[in-house]
Chains A and B, each alone.
Chain A
Amino acid sequence: MTSETGVQAQARAAERRPMRDLGTGRFGDKLFEWAARGSGLLVLGIMAAIAIFLIWKAIPALRANEANFFTAETWDPNATPPKFGIAQLAFGTVMSSLIAMLIATPVAIGIALFISFYSSRKVASGLGYVVDLLAAVPSIVYGLWGVSVLVPHMEGISKAINAVLGWIPLFGGDGVGKASIFTAGVVLAIMILPIISSISREVFLQVPRANVEAALALGATRWETIRLAVLPYGRSGMIGAAMLGLGRAMGETIAVALVLTFVPGINIHILQDGGATFASNIANSFSEASETGRGALIASGLVLFVITLLINMAARAVVARRKEFV
């Protein structure tokens, strides 16, 4: 936009001229400056300390490891000689989280769209409030509900999927059960649903009224208005919400640990019992682990950290790709 208001021009000028040049040298200013700078440095310091500590703890275990850390599917760090690799954990984590995201995102966006554009004003304000509240409930609560109420029904559901989609290797295999990666994914989906929904709703609230009216005035139906003015505008926000959900799913621990039955080795048939994730493995093994075992678990934690980081970076790249238009 070239028709720039005075305020925008000022804001731009301020961007070119950093705040630090505005310091007056008064004691209060100095104090605040150092407090703020100190806080910033403290965050970096803590991050660095955590990383150094983890790496330092992980190195002895990795040295002693007789198997390839990245490709081995076994996890025997307490044996002599210790043999462990993250392949199975990475597979279980990524697969269950992806399933969770794929199930939760469309439903969550549907909920947000309904609240923002379809329900009456009274219903919308009530529902919006409830969704925000639900997003604030720790996800383990949904996880417990999922484990105690949903999981008993998962065997039948899994069998139905296996019967219909069994020709896809992912859903194939014999003897499907309920302690599977797929079940974990479904429970995770329930856990991350409120947060994705809540963020999507926030995003839809930001859509400028002018864009919505532009679409309506062109003769767009409600759904066409959403497609023309709402979804494109909220695209990056929705991707962000889905990624945040994915990140949460990856870090979820106890519910997944309760669902999964440990069976060694990567099993591509995700409807069959078995599987493990980084977090569930750490929760299950940490208390009984030897010195090397703990080191190995810490190393796996580092990998989870890196995977989450990579996913976030990918999400940012997706968001940035169409920046010219937003």
Chain B
Amino acid sequence: MAKRIEVSGLHAYYGGVHAIEDISMTVEPRSVTAFIGPSGCGKSTFLRTLNRMHEVIPGARVEGKVMLDEEDLYGPSVDPVAVRRTVGMVFQRPNPFPTMSIYDNVAAGLKLNGVRGKARLDEIVEESLQGANLWNEVKDRLGKPGAGLSGGQQQRLCIARAIAVRPQVLLMDEPCSALDPISTLAIEDLIGKLKNQFTIVIVTHNMQQAARVSDKTAFFNIAGTGAPGRLIEIDDTSKIFTNPEQKATEDYITGRFG
């Protein structure tokens, strides 16, 4: 249920703007990799190239290679829709479908994948909500609108929706930035649990969070305004936060920068 991601020589563009430059890295299965770096350094853009969500923006394109185990995500015969079913995503702001109930939100992706039958759906919905640590809070109101939950609950609902389709990889784009500390803690606990099953990549602005949840940390930076974002270094989280190779990384994590 978890695959290795190997990126080599990846560039991403928005029209004529070169957003990220020549990124290569490996993300190990069943681990949490955190992306940190200043705003505008391309971490989110890079994250979105990993499930081909980058290209849904008009004019956006990608060069380079992203291998998911043996499969090149940007291969000529690869359907981006199929990629997104394998590589799930959780966004910065909780975005449950506002017109759907809690149950239907979780079942949405399953129905797309052709899962039919109430018993089967019931089972996976419960399993996914359990997996997202939300089941006990919502089991008596599955028919109520998902948008009626609190922000933290909505985000866990979105996680449940993403894991319901059994992806190989789970991408999280600043999943806690719109949440209070208690809800953030709930999500962080959940990430620790989910990494037993999934390969997780998380973008975060919160360095304590990166230190708490991740096994590896990648630091991104830009040379200046308008310059493309680059990967400065990626290493074990403990090493990045105590003894990074690069001066820029040290400056950033100790707050002498940005």
B85–A219 contact, CB under 8 A?
A: yes
| Residues of B participating in the A interface, judged by any CB pair closer than 8 Å | 51, 53, 56, 58-59, 81-86, 88-89, 91, 93, 95-101, 108-109, 112-113, 145, 147-152, 154, 158, 161-162, 165, 178-180
From B56, B59, B99, B112, give the contact of A235 (CB < 8 A): B99
Given contacts A218-B85, A219-B81, contact A213 B91 (CB under 8 A): yes
Across-interface contacts of A1 in B (CB, < 8 A): 147-148, 150-151, 154
Which of B85, B88, B162, B180 is the one whose CB lies under 8 Å from A3? Answer: B180
Q: Which single residue of chain A is at the shortest CB-CB distance from B90?
A: A217
Are A217 and B98 in touch, CB under 8 angstroms? no
Is the C-beta of A174 less than 8 angstroms from some C-beta in chain B?
Answer: no
A229 proximal to B (CB < 8 A): yes
Report which residue of A2, A120, A219, A235 has the largest number of chain B beta carbons within 10 angstroms of its beta carbon: A219
CB distance from A233 to the nearest CB of B (A): 6
Task: Tell me the complex Cα distance, A322–B178, Å.
Answer: 27
Count, chain A residues at interface, CB 8 A: 27
A325–B178 Cα distance when bound, in Å, is 22
Which residue of B53, B100, B152, B161 contacts A325 across the interface (Cβ within 8 Å)?
Answer: B100
Q: Which residue in chain B gives the minimum CB-CB distance to A222?
A: B81
The contact string, 1 if C-beta is below 8 Å from chain B, for chain A 218-249, is 11110010001100110100000000000000
**Distance of A210 Cα from B89 Cα, bound (Å):** 12
Which of A120, A232, A324 touches B97 (beta carbons < 8 Å)? A232
Closest to B96 in A: A214
Contact of B91 among A214, A228, A235, A324 (CB under 8 A): A214
Chain A residue numbers with a CB within 8 Å of B151 are 1-3
Are A121 and B58 in touch, CB under 8 angstroms?
yes
**Contacting pair B112 A224 (CB below 8 A):** yes
Which residues from A are CB-within-8-Å of B83? 219
Chain B residues with CB under 8 Å of A213's CB are: 53, 56, 91, 95
- Indicate if A46 sits at the interface (CB-CB under 8 A): no
Beta-carbon contact of B95 and A208 below 8 Å = yes
Q: 30 pairs across A/B with beta carbons < 8 Å?
A: A1-B148, A1-B150, A1-B154, A3-B150, A3-B151, A3-B152, A121-B59, A208-B98, A210-B95, A211-B97, A211-B98, A213-B95, A214-B158, A215-B97, A217-B51, A217-B84, A217-B91, A217-B162, A218-B108, A218-B112, A219-B83, A219-B109, A219-B165, A220-B81, A220-B112, A221-B81, A228-B97, A235-B99, A325-B145, A325-B147
Chain B CB count within 10 A is highest, among A121, A211, A218, A325, for A218
Cα distance, A215 to B108, chains bound together (Å): 9
* Cβ–Cβ contact B108 & A228, under 8 A: yes
State the CA gap A221–B108 with chains docked (Å).
13
Q: Shortest Cβ distance from A4 into chain B, in angstroms?
A: 9
Asked if B99 and A214 sit within 8 Å, CB to CB, the answer is no
- B57 CB, nearest partner CB in chain A, Å: 10
List residues of chain A with CB within 8 A of the CB of B86: 219
Measured CB to CB, the closest approach of chain B to A234, in angstroms, equals: 10
Contact of B99 among A210, A217, A325 (CB under 8 A): A325
In the bound complex, CA of A224 to CA of B79 (Å): 15
